[in-house]
Structure 1
Amino acid sequence: MNSASHHRVIRRSPLATASSMGILLMLVQATALAAQDTDPTLSTVVVTGAGASEAQKSQKELKKVAGNTAVVDNREIERGRAANAEDVLALQPGVFAQATSGSSANKVSIRGSGLNTFYQGYVLGIKFLFDGLPLTGPGGTQEDMLDMQAVDHTDVLYGANAYLYSALSLGGAINFVSKTGRTDPGNYARFEAGSYGYQKAQLSTGGVVGDADYYVSILHNQRDGYQDHTSNKGQGLVANFGYVFNPKLETRFFVRYREETLTQGNTLTKYQLKHDPTSNTVPIGRKKDGSMLLGSKTTYTFDDNAKLEVGLGYNDYPLLNGWRYSPTPQDWRSKDINVTLRYLRTGDTLFGLPSDSSVTFSNTQAYLADVKSHSRVTGATQQKTDYTGSRDTVFSLGNELQLNDKTWLSSGLSLINIKRKADIQYTTSVNTSTFPNGVEYSETDLAPRLGLRYQLTPEFELFGNVSRSVDPPVTWQLGSTGTPYIRDVRPQKANTVEFGIRGGHGIFDGSLTVYRSWVQKELLSVVVRQATATQDQLVATSNGSPTIHQGIEAGLNALLWEGENGDSLSLRQAYTLNDFHYRNDSTFGDNQLPGLPRQVYQAELQYRQNGGFYAQLNARAASSYYVDFANTLSAPSYTLWGAKVGYEAPSNKWEVFVDARNLTNQRYATATNTAYDAKGQDSANFYPGDPFNVTTGVSFHF
């Protein structure tokens, strides 16, 4: 991006700035390893087939990846409020997840992916999937589907480590794995209620009948909201049906349906954030009349144990944007068809060495996608833009070669073809710019990767990789209804180097990852006009000059105490350092990129009794960060404290909890807009986070 002004900042490298209190605490604890006289096998998770949960099985598989990955057991999240992606992705280093207006519309970023996206719930730079079937399409990710209903566990794959899902984004992929009749048999009821009118009710049933299994869940949620006029409500259905034809062939059908009506609050100034945080003079109404994911996944196992997975999906995402309050409401239609193929071979030999291989293919096409705006006063159509035919196609080859007893070499090559089409078919405005009324292009690129794992000791493993990422713009980044022209925005590309160590000893286990990405044509968005009572917000996206994304992702878990009867005291910690900046931009020099905290530290101290009682104290601290490219205005830093107590009956038949957040009632910004040059003046770019709030819940298995 360019500007008439020039402003530079002095930066230090990530390693020089990592001396925060959180990382020091983790390093101090790590030095205690030498003094530990505990059997090191205590920190090892042994996975033994039938006794292992689905999350443990996934964790075992992802440890084979020569890069950073994580697995979140959603059952652990359900011991407290489980409303959105912020709840699920907490305590994951390198992952930023924050919600506004209490809805499932979250800002989610991994390693700075889509870091300055204007915040209306859309997530960029990450490929989201349910059960390996794409949720993300050429039009982006629909935020209403991130409601976390009926999810067994969540796989987080950073950057190029998501290659098995044909994901080439800078941020990688997040795969939500559904509960099934085999993992969650029986009947289940869950009720949550809390501050600001929050309510959530879920009923589910599942079981196995011969060679078939079924799972059905229904959900209702609602919230009055903290800001004025920010109520939201929704209901949804999740179902899947599986059938095992024989030991070699099985299939599963998936259905996800969601209706949602919500009103989001406008951004505030820093003064309002502190003195009038409930103000909402320009609410933003959004309505989903029936988002739907239909899919199937069939797996065939050959005689040599090679597997072929075939996935088919249909996604329908209708949206009425600005259905309340907006002077120009918009009717969005977005229907995708996707095909995924994965062929996996294990136990082969290559050059006389053990070898595993994979071939993957993914094609997601918008077969019907457009947006139409009209005047609220006259009802007349003002503009229609068509995106039909936009497509993302990825073909990948991968191999893991065991060089010796301690070393594994992984390699791969992906071919991606991106087609984008944006055409203004009708408008009442006059295009006086130099931009065209339509853009259509097809672009092909290669994305190689090379990784290495080395078993340093029986307990610790080193890993590293080099890779290339390709992020195509989502269709509406080229243009929608705010302007009578289309921008020729091209894919963002980056080369990334990543190194790390993971493992455990005694009472400790954790990981440390350092990465650096050289980004070209980064997709950068800026709010060029704030929403008013008579005009909608206007956002522009363009390809920026070269940038750097680099950082540190550190996690450390410790079993501080364990009683003879099974009682325990444990501590989880996660630290993230984000250093995202320009590389000698002609206007902004080496300025920091706005949109995400430079440092984030999270911790969770938990006491559990063998009898079922548990109590927890948690904290999240985030440093200040800029909200404009000129680096003249910043969001305030904050530290949030929370506490949770609950009881889980030994029979697992019922559970109750109380989850309290923001105990000190701090007023802070949970996310921000991105300005071009704020000139140091306070402006309305901050989304207020919830003050002190309490949620209580109860669940039953019957």
Structure 2
Amino acid sequence: MIAPKFQGKQLVLTVALLASATSALAQEAANGPVTQLETIKITGNWLEEPNEEKVLKHPGARTILDREQFEERGAQDIRDALNQIPGVQVQEANGTGGSDVSLNLGVRGLTSRLSPRSTVLMDGIPLAYAPYGQPQLSLFPLTLGNVETIDVVRGAGSVRYGPQNVGGIINFVTRPIPEDFTARFSSGAEIAGNNGHVKATPNFLIGGTNDDGLGAAVLYSGIHGEGYRDANDRTDIDDIIAKGAYEFSDTDKLGIQFHHYEGEGKMPGGLTSAEYDADPYQSTRRYDDFSGRRNDISLRYQHDDGDNNFEVLTYYVDSFRGSHVEQQGTGASAGLYRLTSAPRSYSYFGIEPRYSRLFELGGITQEVTVGYRYLWEESSEVASRTAFYNRASGIDPTTRSSPTYQTSDGGTIAHAFYIDDKIEIGDWTITPGIRYEMISTHNDVVNFGTSGAVTSSLSPSVEANEALPTLSASYRLTNELTVFGNVGVSFGPQQYSQLASTTDGLHPEKATTYEIGLHYEGDTWNAELTAFNIDFDKELYLGRTIVGEGIWTDLGATRHRGIESAINYDIGDVVPALDGLSLSASYTYTEATYEAGAFEGRDLPFYSRQVASLGARYRYDDWILNADLQAQSKQHSPGSADAGATYVTDEDATGRLGDIPGYGTLNLRVAYQPEDKKNAPQFAFGVKNLFDKEYFTRSTDNNGGKFVGQPRTFFVNASIAF
């Protein structure tokens, strides 16, 4: 099914890679040590307790990154950690996502601005403001210090989780309650090599479990300090999680979790070409900032007796975000600015029961899962702005009147039903499934004139009922090697801002994803290889202008296709003289193009066709040395794909448009990590971008322009546990 979507040379390359890898890996597994898989047992929630075996059995592209892995590669924040995963590209902080409070995550060439194309979860709970009506992550309410594992499912997940899952499912698993009482304290710091600014990342965990199965823990993680831009680049984030659990019996347990996040990030903003040439680290913006807070509480009951697995998860989320952004005037207001403000409040409630049952008949094993999610959400958004002013006058715009020019109050009620059946026949596993979404969304929008009088109002609403089928299959060639293929349909409903848009022809989005690939999990090495193809019938894109609100446009059909690969090899297990040495590498090729309109056949904006990494890890006694190289090819910022428009490749004067050169950076890390001393002190130090490579990205939104990347940066980390 995927073959017709690939050009000849790409198809030949993909098939050759799969065939050669399958043959080589099968031969090694046949001749080398064999790892016996566990006997059949019920899976239930397959995001629960992610591990290597679940990756091997998953019939689609999936990568699990644990705390040890992302710490050893020098990750200091979520952005650093996600960039280690094939197919995932996280943009440097830029535009109105230009602080540590936001996350710009793109998968397989899908738009990365504020991460709208993936279902992003924390312990299975949505992290977006409003999963249906506002799925962006301009407020990303989680910090790396509270994360134990990152589970990225890029294929075969759309039945269980949604909406907005064309970019896969990303689940951040927070640090668990310890079995024994533990108090662990750690802190890190980044020191920017260009200006000496320091950003600290303290965190701690205190908790444990008694003999009766009652456990509790408190987690804290923060980010505080200045970034590498010279002005307006301060971050203050506090992220607190309190969790409790009680095991009633060997088969039943109850968990409760409360989460509070509060953060503020200054946004130094983009520069024009001339400003960047004069000093790429300067900021011409004094007032741009973004702040937010989130409170959520969840309750989870689980029953697992080996044949039956039942879970019910319920949660309530309340969040607020606010921002200030200077807008530059045009026409009669050219050379003048005004300060905009956008306070917004959101809340949602969800309940998700799911039941799985294991059936065994002869040589056939089936696990049938049925599930349901009810989700209610509401939003309240306000937009205000000052009159235009001259920066040279010295006026502080925060003291000026900022009348409201628009309000909107939206809401959604959504029901999602799903069923899938994992059928195991010999070495084959075939899983058909279907998800059915029933969505009702409305948004009441009121516009105001300069006098405060209502000038217009509208109350659009939309009903959506969508059936989303999937089919996946995997074949276990050996106990260590699985090949797979899948096809699935994903869905993105209309958002509140799209309902409020005056643009005609907006619509829900649907995409079909195809994958073929393999997983290999051996004693000495592991590998993954996937070929993928995503067809969007009609993809929506949020365009931006210097002045005014974003305009949603229909790009028409788009196509995303490519190859993802990764390998980790423990050389010390094969060559005793190199004991302690292991190597890793990854390579992703993505081709994401317009398939209609003025830019047909050209690359979509803000993604790299090629991304590669190479890493080495060496342990000697209690010391670990890591070296990691990461590189990416050029990106594009071509401008709007309106009829008759020109695909911009040369940089314009604003710095917003034009090609973005590729680059590579090298990170080094040295750590003292005793292997057999559980509570021994640990410390690490290292450097990111060792050779101080200067690179940049662009943004086309209201505080867009040219953004310099992270320069040479030194970091230290230390921890102690009791």
Q: Please give the range of the TM-score, normalised by the shorter of the 2 chains.
A: 0.7 to 0.9
Q: Is the 8 A contact 2:503 2:553 kept in 1?
A: no
SS in 2 for 1:86: helix
Report the counterpart of residue 463 of structure 1 in structure 2: 484
The range that moved more, 277-286 or 656-665, is: 277-286
The equivalent position to 1:652 in structure 2, one of 671, 675, 678, is 678
Distance 1:323 1:655 in 2: 42
- Asked whether 1:410 is paired with 2:431, we answer yes
Offset, 1:34: 10
Structure 2 counterpart of 1:262: 265
1:643 is matched with 668
| CA-to-aligned-CA distance 1:634-685 (integer Å, 9 cap, x gap) | 111101111111011241322101131111111112x532589xxxxxx964
CA distance in 1 between counterparts of 2:692 and 2:11 reads 29
Give runs of aligned pairs for residues 296-695 of structure 1, distance below 5 A: 296-301=299-304, 305-322=307-324, 327-349=339-361, 353-375=364-386, 378-402=400-424, 404-428=425-449, 437-479=458-500, 485=502, 489-504=506-521, 507-529=524-546, 538-562=549-573, 567-583=579-595, 585-609=596-620, 611-628=621-638, 629=641, 630-632=647-649, 633-649=658-674, 650-653=676-679, 654-669=681-696, 671-674=697-700, 685-695=705-715
The whole-number CA distance in structure 1 between the counterparts of 2:714 and 2:660 is 25
- Shift of the 365–342 alpha-carbon distance from structure 1 to 2, 3 Å rule, reads same
Question: Distance in 1 between the 2:40 and 2:276 partners?
Answer: 52
The whole-number CA distance in structure 2 between the counterparts of 1:661 and 1:439 is 49
Q: Which moved more, 1:128-137 or 1:690-699?
A: 128-137
SS in 2 for 1:205: strand
Q: Quick check: 203-212 or 271-280, which moved more?
A: 271-280
**Equivalent residue for 1:152, pick from 141, 148, 151:** 148
Contact 2:565-2:588 within 8 A present in 1 as well: yes
Deviation at 1:244, TM superposition (A): 1.6
Q: Deviations over 1:483-541 (max 9, x none)?
A: 8x576632211112111122156743201100111101212122222xxxxx5x64222
Matches of residues 241-260 of structure 1 in structure 2 within 5 Å? 241-260=244-263
Against the structure 1 CA distance between its residues 601 and 184, is the aligned structure 2 distance closer, same or farther, given a 3 Å change threshold? farther
Deviates more, 1:278-287 or 1:334-343: 278-287
* Structure 1 residue 416: Cα displacement: 1.2
Shift of 1:423: 2.2
Whether the aligned pair in 2 keeps the contact of 1:81 and 1:192 (CA below 8 Å) is no
Contact kept, 8 Å, 2:25 with 2:520, in 1: the verdict is no
Conserved in 2, the CA contact under 8 Å of 1:47 and 1:56? no
The residue number in structure 1 matching 2:718 is: 698
Q: Is the 8 A contact 2:342 2:381 kept in 1?
A: no
Aligned residues: 656
Task: Return closer, same or farther for 1:256/1:188 CA change in 2, 3 Å cut-off.
Answer: same
2:202 aligned partner, one-letter code: A
- What are the residue-to-residue correspondences of 1:193-212 with 2, within 5 Å? 193-195=189-191, 196-209=197-210, 210-212=212-214
Deviations 1:603-650 (A, max 9, x none): 2111112x2210011111110121115252211110111111101124
Task: Tell me, in whole angstroms, the C-alpha distance in 2 between the residues paired with 1:28 and 1:306.
Answer: 40
State the match for 1:8 in structure 2: none
Aligned partners of 1:55 and 1:72 also within 8 Å: no
Residue 545 (structure 1) shift: 0.7
Cα distance change, pair 454–444 in 1 and its aligned pair in 2 (3 A): same
AA paired with 1:72? L
Distance in 2 between residues matched to 1:26 and 1:223, nearest whole Å = 47
Cα distance in 2, alignment partners of residues 692 and 457 from structure 1: 45
Residue 126, structure 1, aligned to residue 118, structure 2? yes
Partners of 2:180 and 2:53 lie apart in 1 by 21
Instruction: Give yes or no for contact 2:163–2:491 (8 Å, CA) kept in 1.
Output: no
Shift of the 35–340 alpha-carbon distance from structure 1 to 2, 3 Å rule, reads: closer
Shift of 1:65: 2.4
Partner of 2:66: 73
C-alpha distance 170-214 of structure 1, shift in aligned 2 (>3 A):
same
In structure 1, the partner of 2:220 is 218
Report how far residue 306 of structure 1 moved: 1.2
TM-score, with length taken from structure 2: 0.82
Q: Is the 8 A contact 1:69 1:158 kept in 2?
A: yes
Distance in 2 (alpha carbons) for counterparts of 1:568 and 1:48: 34
Identify if the C-alpha distance between structure 1 residues 249 and 163 changes in structure 2 by more than 3 Å, giving closer, same or farther: same
Structure 1 residue 84 corresponds to structure 2 residue 77: yes
Unaligned runs of 5+ in 2: 42-46, 192-196, 328-337, 387-397, 642-646, 650-657
Give the CA deviation at 1:447.
Answer: 0.7
The answer (yes or no) to whether the contact 1:14–1:577 under 8 Å persists in 2 is no
Shift of 1:695: 0.7
Does structure 1 residue 107 correspond to structure 2 residue 107? no
SS of equivalent residue, structure 1 residue 113? coil
For residues 436 and 401 of structure 1, the distance between their equivalents in structure 2, rounded to whole angstroms, comes to: 53
Assess, with a 3 A threshold, how the Cα gap between structure 1 residues 32 and 247 changes in structure 2: closer, same or farther: closer
Counterpart residue identity of residue 484, structure 2: F
Q: Residue 409 of structure 2 contacts residue 445 of structure 2 at CA under 8 Å; is this kept in 1?
A: no
- Match for 1:61 among 54, 58, 62? 54
**Could you tell me the TM-score, scaled by structure 1's length?**
0.84
Q: How far off is 1:362 after superposition?
A: 2.2
Deviation at residue 38 of structure 1 after TM alignment:
11
- Within 1, Cα distance between the matches of 2:219 and 2:21? 43
Letter in 2 for 1:73: D
- Aligned-pair CA distance for 1:378: 4.8
- Displacement of 1:27 in angstroms is 12
Task: Quote the Cα distance in structure 1 between the aligned partners of 2:152 and 2:408.
Answer: 33
Contact persistence 2:29–2:480 (CA under 8 A): no
Amino-acid identity (%): 20
Give 5+ residue unaligned stretches, structure 1. 1-10, 530-534, 677-682
What secondary structure sits across from 2:288 in the alignment? strand
- Partner residue of 1:532? none
Return the letter of the residue paired with 1:331: P
Relative distance call for 1:514 and 1:36 in structure 2 (3 A) is closer
